[in-house]
Amino acid sequence: MKGGAGGMGRIGSTRWSWAALTNRGGVLEIWAYRELIGRLVQRELGSRYKRSVLGWLWSMLNPAATLAIYALVFGVLLKFDPPRAGNGRFDNFALYLFCALVMWNAFYGVITGAMSALLDLGSLLGKVYFPPEAPAVAALFTVLFQAAIEASILMLILVCLANVSWTFLLWPVLLVFLSIFALGIGLMLSVWNVRYRDVGYLSTIALQFLFYVTPIVYPLSLIPERAMGLPVRDIIRLNPLSQFTEASRELLYGLDWPGVLRLVLMALISLAVGTGGWLMFKVRTRDIAEEL
Amino acid sequence: MGENAVVVEGVSKRFRLTLDRPLSLKEAWTGLRPGSGRPFRRVRSEPFWALQDISLEVPRGSMYGLVGRNGSGKSTLLRVMAGIYRPTEGRVEITGRTSALLELGAGFHPALSGRENIYLNASVLGVPKAQIDDRVEQIVEFAGLEEFIDSPVKIYSSGMYVRLGFAVAVHVDPEILIVDEVVAVGDEEFQLRCFSHLESLRSQGVTIVLVSHDLGMLRANCDQMAWLNRGALAAVGDPQEVINAYLDTIDTEGAASVGHRPRSDAEGDTPLRITNLEFFDGSGHRPKSFASGDPLVVRIHYSASQPIEDPVFSLGFYDHNNLHLAGPRSHVGGFRPGKVDGEGWVEFRLSRIPFRSGAFHVNAAVQDSDASFLYDRRAREFWLQISGEPDPQANGLLNLEGDWRAEA
Over residues B142-165, the mean pLDDT reads: 85
Alpha carbon of A149: minimum distance to chain B alpha carbons (Å)? 26
Contact A25/B at CB under 8 A: yes
A283 CB neighbours in chain B (<8 A) are: none
Amino acid identity for residue B116 in this structure? E
Three-state SS string over B166-190 comes to HHHHHCCCCCEEEECHHHHHCCHHH
Cβ–Cβ under 8 Å, residues B287 and B281 = yes
Average pLDDT, chain B: 81
Q: Which of A114-118, B131-135, B189-193, B211-215 has the highest mean pLDDT?
A: A114-118
Q: Which residue has the higher pLDDT, A272 or B34?
A: A272
CA-CA distance, B274 to B258, in Å (whole number)? 23
A289 CB neighbours in chain B (<8 A) are: 79, 84-85
Q: Which residue has the higher pLDDT, B136 or B380?
A: B136
Q: Looking at the predicted complex, does its ipTM rise above 0.90?
A: no
Q: What are phi and psi of A163, to 5 degrees?
A: -100, 80
CA-CA distance, A104 to A175, in Å (whole number)? 10
Which of B27, B84, B125 has the CB atom closest to A289's CB atom? B84
CB pairs under 8 A between A and B: 125
Contact A128/B at CB under 8 A: yes
Predicted confidence at residue B313, as pLDDT, reads 93
Alpha carbon of B89: minimum distance to chain A alpha carbons (Å)? 8
CB contact under 8 A, B26 and A36: no
CB contact under 8 A, B25 and A9: no
Predicted confidence at residue A136, as pLDDT, reads 94
Kindly report, residue by residue over B72-113, the tens digit of the pLDDT. 888 899 989 988 888 999 999 888 888 888 765 567 877 788
What totals of helices (H) and strands (E) does chain B contain, helices first?
8, 17
CATH code, B272-388: 2.70.50.60
Predicted confidence at residue B105, as pLDDT, reads 56
Give the nearest chain A residue to B129 (CA atoms).
A35
Neighbours of A164 (CB within 10 A): 15
CB contact under 8 A, A35 and B129: yes
Q: Which residue has the higher pLDDT, A116 or B286?
A: A116
Give the nearest chain A residue to B5 (CA atoms).
A8
Most A CBs within 10 A among B45, B123, B150, hence the mutation to make, goes to: B123
CA-CA distance, A231 to B1, in Å (whole number)? 65
Predicted confidence at residue B184, as pLDDT, reads 59
Which of A9, A121, A199 has the CB atom closest to B109's CB atom? A121
Which of A32, A39, A126 has the CB atom closest to B120's CB atom? A39
Alpha carbon of A107: minimum distance to chain B alpha carbons (Å)? 24
Most A CBs within 10 A among B13, B54, B76, B84, hence the mutation to make, goes to: B84
Alpha carbon of B163: minimum distance to chain A alpha carbons (Å)? 16
Contact A194/B at CB under 8 A: no
Predicted confidence at residue A23, as pLDDT, reads 62
Residue burial A198-223, b: 16+ Cβ < 10 Å; e: rest: ebbebbeeeeeebeeebbbbbbeeeb
Predicted confidence at residue B65, as pLDDT, reads 92
CB contact under 8 A, A12 and B99: no
pLDDT band of B56, cuts 50, 70, 90 = very high
CA-CA distance, B383 to A201, in Å (whole number)? 64
A32 CB neighbours in chain B (<8 A) are: 126
Contact A199/B at CB under 8 A: yes
Give the nearest chain B residue to A12 (CA atoms).
B91
Q: Which residue has the higher pLDDT, A117 or B44?
A: A117
Q: What string of DSSP letters covers B204-228? A: TT-EEEEE-S-HHHHHHH-SEEEEE
Give the nearest chain B residue to A37 (CA atoms).
B123
User: Comparing C-alpha atoms, which of B267, B247, B391, B377 is closest to residue B318?
Assistant: B247
Alpha carbon of B384: minimum distance to chain A alpha carbons (Å)? 39
Alpha carbon of A183: minimum distance to chain B alpha carbons (Å)? 21
Predicted confidence at residue B101, as pLDDT, reads 81
CB contact under 8 A, B112 and A43: yes
Kindly report, residue by residue over B5-30, the tens digit of the pLDDT. 999 999 999 887 655 567 777 777 77
Q: What one-character DSSP code corresponds to residue B243?
A: H
| Termini Cα distance of chain A | 30
Contact A138/B at CB under 8 A: no
CB contact under 8 A, A10 and B91: yes
Q: What angle do CA A231, A234, A270 make, to 5 degrees?
A: 145
* Stretches in chain A below the pLDDT threshold 50: 1-15
Give the nearest chain B residue to A120 (CA atoms).
B109
Predicted confidence at residue A210, as pLDDT, reads 94
Predicted confidence at residue B311, as pLDDT, reads 92
Contact A14/B at CB under 8 A: no
Alpha carbon of A111: minimum distance to chain B alpha carbons (Å)? 19
Q: What contacts B313, CB < 8 A, 6 or more positions away?
A: B300, B302, B329, B330, B337, B346, B348, B364, B365, B366
B109 CB neighbours in chain A (<8 A) are: 121, 124
A36 CB neighbours in chain B (<8 A) are: 120, 123-124, 126
pLDDT at residue B408 greater than cutoff 80: no
Predicted confidence at residue B157, as pLDDT, reads 83
CB contact under 8 A, A3 and B126: yes
Over residues B184-209, the mean pLDDT reads: 80
Give the nearest chain B residue to A40 (CA atoms).
B120
Most A CBs within 10 A among B98, B103, B112, B182, hence the mutation to make, goes to: B98
Which of A25, A32, A196 has the CB atom closest to B24's CB atom? A196
Kindly report, residue by residue over B301-339, the tens digit of the pLDDT. 999 988 999 999 999 998 877 788 888 988 887 888 888
